Amino acid sequence: MIISPIACSYPNPVFQSIRSRTYDELGRVLNCNYTNFNREDMNWKNLAKFLDKRFQDQKRVRINFAGCSDGSEPYTLAIYLIKTLGNKSAKFFPIEASDISPDMVEAAKSGVIFLHDRDLKFIKEMGMSYSFCRDSEVKIMRDIPFYKHYVNEPLRSSVTFSVSDVRKMAEEGDFSNRVFVFRNGWTFNSLEDQNSISKNLYKNSNEKTLVIIGQSDLFKSAASDYLQMYGFRGLDNGIFTGAETNYPSVSIGQPSWKPIYPQYILFKKGIR
């Protein structure tokens, strides 16, 4: 899939930013939509190469990206696939992104995304500035200016967006021969739900299935432990960098015990 420059287009209506963080009565984080491009806990280029090699004999590879927030991470993966694999990246598209927030999904479907300076630096370095069109609106969030942009075609068509609850998706979906990405959102689910998600993912997957979580999930959830407990095997192949900060906030899905298994963010189905 080769992307070439195209003129800016402006959809209607204009959406406000909906990046937010909510808390329960104990002050624990229930939900957080803050994200950005090129999250540093992953070597995204190595991931693109790994996906190419793992699925080289497969004509179509579906990627489910749950808890996608505003689309920054699915678009990051799309950009790295395009830049790393060229025309071979086409079989991975569209990435099927989803989020539990209807407002977040509505904004993402419209092509609206708010980007800060680090996002824009990454996009420029990747030679993808023409895929984003800047609007005059600026929002200040967490004391950081975010600039309103629209995602241009054809990058925009490389990711689709829908409303979905990851718990229901894990229970009802078929993840055979596909990639399931749910990053830095496990901790906003209870430990009971994390357990069920892991169990259902194992039940509904096969030996080609890949599951990807985030570094924040290692800090603040039991995702890595539960996935391995049900039979997934952690993969150590230069994709996890461990470069992100351990933020001090407490979330509802944080375990009281130390990790039982070695910690990974990338998993394949093993033999129980």
Neighbour-count burial of 87, counting CB atoms closer than 10 A to its CB (0-12 exposed, 13-18 middle, 19+ buried)? exposed
Residue 121 lies in a domain: no
Residue 32 lies in a domain: yes
> What type of residue sits at position 263?
Q
Residue 220 lies in a domain: yes
Residue 132 lies in a domain: no
Q: How many CB atoms lie within 10 A of CB 73?
A: 26
Residue 221 lies in a domain: yes
The whole-chain average pLDDT of the chain stands at: 89
Q: What is the pLDDT of residue 19?
A: 55
Residue 8 lies in a domain: no
pLDDT band at 244 (very low <50, low <70, confident <90, very high): confident
Q: Could you give the CA distance from residue 94 to residue 154 in angstroms, rounded to a whole number?
A: 11
pLDDT at 190 over 50: yes
Q: Which residues contact 11 (CB under 8 A, 6 or more apart)?
A: 110, 111, 112, 150
Q: What is the pLDDT of residues 193-236, one digit of tens each?
A: 999 999 999 999 999 999 999 999 999 999 999 999 999 999 98
Q: Once rounded to an integer, what is the mean pLDDT over residues 52-78? A: 96
Indicate the Cα dihedral angle 169, 174, 176, 178, nearest 10°.
-40
The CATH number given to whatever domain includes residue 252 is: 3.40.50.150
Q: Which residues contact 205 (CB under 8 A, 6 or more apart)?
A: 175, 176, 180, 211, 269
Q: Which domain holds residue 214?
A: 21-109+153-269
pLDDT at 145 over 70: yes
Residue 205 lies in a domain: yes
Residue 232 lies in a domain: yes
Number of domains observed in the structure of the chain? 1
